[in-house]
Structures are given as C-alpha cells and as structure tokens.
Amino acid sequence: MKKRFALFTVMFFAVLTLAGCWNGEVFVETTMNMDGSGERVYTLRVMDDTLSTDAILNPDDPDQNKNTGPVINDKHIVGGLPAIQTWLEENAPDFMTVHDMEVEGYMRYYTISFTFDSFEDFLDKMQQLVDLSPVLGWDDFDADELPQLECSGALTRTCTFTESAVIVEASMDWAIDGIWNDIYDADDLAGFVEKGDIAVFSDYRITLGDTEYEELAHYDPDAEYPENDDHDGRMVYITSNEFTITNEGLNTGIVVGIVVAAIVVIGGVVAFVVTKKG
C-alpha cells in the first residue's frame, strides 16, 4: 500500500506558513561510501523574528506585493524557539547525535545526525526512526519505497542507491509529533493549524562515493501562487517522489587485498633471496 500522506504527518518541526508565520525547512543530507557506511544529517532551519530588528519578509513575497505580512515564529513555541533544541536533546534516540544549535543572522539551525557502519545498519536505524512515530510504521511502506543499495562488479564496483521521499519524511515524524504535542502553541492560529503545517521537507542531498545528487529549495518567480491571482512566484521545495544515484569506482576492499597479497609475495621473495645468499 503506497503511503502518500501528503507531506503532513511527516515533516519536521516548528513554525508555519500561515498568517505571517513561516514553516521550518528541513535539509536531509547523506554521505554514503561504496561499502554502505556513512552518515545522515537532518538540519532544521527556522527564521526567528526575535533575532531581527527589522521585519522578516515572507520568502513567498520578496517583492511585498502579495500581502503576506512579516514572518512571526517565536511565539508559537512554548519557551521560544530555543526550546526546540532542549526538546531534541531530551527526546532524540540514543544512536543520534544532537549538535549544538547555531545562529546566523535571524536564522536558527538545529541539527541531528546518525552514522552507520554498513547499509544494513542504515536500514536498521531508519526503521527505528520510522517506528518511533505514533502513527506510522516501517511495515506500512512498500518494498520499492524503502531504501535500496544494489552493487555489482569485482575490481570496478557500480552501486545504485534509491529511496522514496515518503520514507525520508517518515523518519522525521517522531520529532514532528513530539514537538507538536509537547511545545507547539497555535496561539492566534488555533483551529487553522495541523501537525503537517509546521514544517516542510525542503532540501535533499546524497553523496555516493564521489557522485552527488541534490534537490534544493528555491524561489521560482513563475510558479503559481494560488493565494494571490495577481502575482505569481513562490518557494519550491522537494517535488521528486524518489531519489536515485549511481556511482562507479574501484572496490577498495579488493584493491587492499591485492596490495597486501603482493606485499606478502614480494616479502617472501626477498626473504628467500636473502636466505639463499646467506
């Protein structure tokens, strides 16, 4: 059964696209070696109006002709936006690293990550994240929606990594649900906001070996803006249903084995020659 739960139960944390607020944007970046080991990093960026003396312009309205109003986010988190960092430190699973919150201008960055020793370890940790959600489970997804790594070749190895957007989103829902229920305050937006409104899966980057694929958020001046008939232009986020990357390279395990074997053989020959001369 295909799970198309519409970027809703599965986004990341705080803040909104409605009534002058702006959703949090989540960048998922993965570095994977040809042996399936690597690291996955989730970074949430949130505009904090308390860090700016001037009004923060709505990213959908850079020309200020759509009447969107300035971005106001801080009041929608109990304790203010820094409370997201505290929540993550207290609730992230043990295998994840919660990095220090960073501030640049009026933007706050919250980063969590996990490393994996093999592709099997990656799958295990992704499954744990998905199963932490109170509304989703790993078994809810079809096989072709789950991450896959297929490799072939001996000395020269070709590997293809594939995963669906929905499984990446699903790995975030434990945090979305927790933030929504524990520290989110709808305030003047009560009745207009649902859990799926508070953030968006905005950017994706995967590096496999020395090959990179990315899909990044950007402003498209020609994109239709349904809320305003007179002016087009809006932010565009992830549109792909699936991400695929292929890389070809030397199988370092075999190369190392050949080198070691060669050293052993050469060492044996040298020892034999020296012994014979002696």
Confirm whether 274 is domain-assigned.
Answer: no
Phi and psi torsions of 120, nearest 5°? -65, -40
Token pair belonging to 14: 């705080």
Cα separations in angstroms, 142 against 79, 145, 162, 167, 236: 40, 5, 13, 10, 27
Confirm whether 272 is domain-assigned.
Answer: no
Sheet holding 242-250, edge to edge: 148-152, 156-164, 242-250
Q: Using H for helix, E for strand and C for coil, what is the string for 92-150?
A: CCCCCEECCCEEECCEEEEEEEEEECCHHHHHHHHHHHHHCCCCCCHHHCCHHHCCEEE
Q: CA 216, 193, 177 angle in degrees (round to 5)?
A: 70
What burial letters (b/e) apply to 207-242, b meaning 16+ CB within 10 Å?
Answer: bbbeeebebebeeeeeeebeebeeeebbbebbeeee
What burial letters (b/e) apply to 147-176, b meaning 16+ CB within 10 Å?
Answer: bebeeeeeeebebebbbbbbbbbbbbbbbb
Confirm whether 266 is domain-assigned.
Answer: no
Neighbours of 2 (CB within 10 A): 12
Q: Where are the beta strands (DSSP E) in 129-217?
A: 148-152, 156-164, 199-208, 211-215
pTM: 0.83
Confirm whether 144 is domain-assigned.
Answer: yes
Confirm whether 55 is domain-assigned.
Answer: yes
Contact call for residues 144 and 164 (beta carbons, < 8 A): yes
Token pair belonging to 69: 């109003």
Cα separations in angstroms, 269 against 122, 205, 257, 263: 44, 49, 18, 10
**Pairing relationship of beta strands 211-215 and 199-208 according to DSSP bridges:** antiparallel
**Pairing relationship of beta strands 102-104 and 107-116 according to DSSP bridges:** antiparallel
In total, how many domains does the chain have? 1
**How far is Cα 106 from Cα 196, in angstroms, rounded to an integer?**
24
Confirm whether 176 is domain-assigned.
Answer: yes
Structural domain span for residue 194:
24-253
Tens of pLDDT along the chain (278 residues) come to: 444 443 333 333 333 444 456 789 999 999 999 999 999 999 999 999 899 999 888 888 888 887 788 888 888 899 999 999 999 999 999 999 999 999 999 999 999 999 999 999 999 999 999 999 999 999 999 999 999 999 999 788 999 999 999 999 999 999 989 999 999 887 767 777 788 888 899 999 999 999 999 999 999 999 888 776 778 898 999 999 999 999 998 766 554 545 554 465 565 554 445 555 55
Contact call for residues 107 and 56 (beta carbons, < 8 A): no
**How far is Cα 215 from Cα 269, in angstroms, rounded to an integer?**
54
Cα separations in angstroms, 160 against 54, 111, 176, 206, 249: 47, 27, 30, 12, 12
Confirm whether 75 is domain-assigned.
Answer: yes
Confirm whether 278 is domain-assigned.
Answer: no
- State whether residue 207 is helix, strand or coil: strand
Contact call for residues 140 and 171 (beta carbons, < 8 A): no
